[in-house]
Amino acid sequence: MPTLRAVYFSIRAGTLFNTLRSYQSDAFWKASGPVLAENDFAEDLFDGAFPLIATQMSKTLEIDR
């Protein structure tokens, strides 16, 4: 059974994952205007954040065992 800490981190990671995905949506870029649309900041942030989240979660799960 997962510990409370593991559940907490999985919820936090899921929330961050969904938030970053929403930044990549077309509606976000259309509302932000052409300057932000040409900037790949959100895409780079998403690509860099997900492996970091996965690493942190695996470390947390190892500690809880």
pLDDT of residue 59: 64
How confident is the model over 2-61, as pLDDT tens digits?
677 776 767 676 676 666 666 666 565 565 555 554 555 556 555 656 666 666 666 666
The separation between CA 15 and the C-alpha centre of its own chain, rounded to angstroms, equals: 7
Give the CB-side neighbour count of residue 8, counting CA atoms within 13 A: 5
pTM: 0.27
pLDDT of residue 3: 73
Separation between Cα atoms, residue 38 and residue 2, nearest integer Å: 42
pLDDT of residue 50: 63
Q: Which residue matches tokens 């959100």?
A: 42
Question: What is the residue extent of each domain of the chain?
Answer: 4-64
How confident is the model over 24-35, as pLDDT tens digits?
665 655 655 555
